[in-house]
Amino acid sequence: MFESYLYEVLETVLGSYIRDLDPELLKVAVWAGEVTLEGLELKEDAFAALGLPVKVKRGMVGRMVLKVPWHKLTGSATEVYVDDIHLLLEPCEWSEEQYNKTKQRQKMSQVSAFEAQMQLRINQENSSHSGDSWQQWAAYSVLFNLQLVVENIHVRYELDNPGISHLPSAAGFFIDSLQARSTDAIWRMAP
Mean pLDDT calculated for residue range 60-82: 83
Residue 22 to residue 33: CA distance in whole angstroms: 17
User: For 24-70, what is each residue's pLDDT tens digit?
Assistant: 666 556 666 788 888 999 988 888 777 778 889 999 999 999 887 77
For residues 148, 77, 20 and 114, what is the CA-based torsion angle, rounded to 10 degrees?
A: -80
User: For 128-167, what is each residue's pLDDT tens digit?
Assistant: 544 556 666 666 666 677 788 999 999 999 987 656 667 7
CA of 185: how far to CAs of 29, 141, 182, 190, in Å?
A: 33, 16, 10, 11
Cβ neighbours, 10 Å, residue 30: 21
| In the chain, where the domains are located | 2-95+146-181
Instruction: Give the 3-state secondary structure percentages of the chain, helix then strand then coil, rounded to 5.
Output: 35, 35, 25
Say if residue 18's pLDDT is above 70.
yes
User: For 92-138, what is each residue's pLDDT tens digit?
Assistant: 877 778 778 877 877 877 787 777 777 766 766 665 544 556 666 66
